Amino acid sequence: MLKINPLGPMNNPYNKQTAPQHADKTESPKNERDKVEISSTAKQMQQGEIDTARQEKIDALKQKVESGTYQVDPKEAAKKFIDFWSGK
């Protein structure tokens, strides 16, 4: 006949789950708050300020697209895709 010895409390895997968990004593002070700083570049972007030269270029491109005269150079576009996806 086979004799089975009872398991001791050290071998019980569920003992850890039922035992109360002790909180970490090194908690951060509750008076501190998180702080976020926004760079000046990000502030300019939020305000919607666009360089006038860039805005002129955007307006010219919009006008070409709307009038149907905008042409894409397929070789240049393919080169840009390859450069982008190869990490250049």
Chunk the chain into consecutive blocks of 10 residues (it has 88) and report each block's average pLDDT, rounded to whole numbers.
Answer: 66 65 62 85 75 87 95 94 90
Q: For the chain, what is the total number of helices (H) and then of strands (E)?
A: 4, 0
Note the pTM of the prediction, 2 decimals. Answer: 0.36
Q: What is the DSSP letter of 68?
A: T
Positive or negative, the CA dihedral 24, 30, 36, 37 is negative
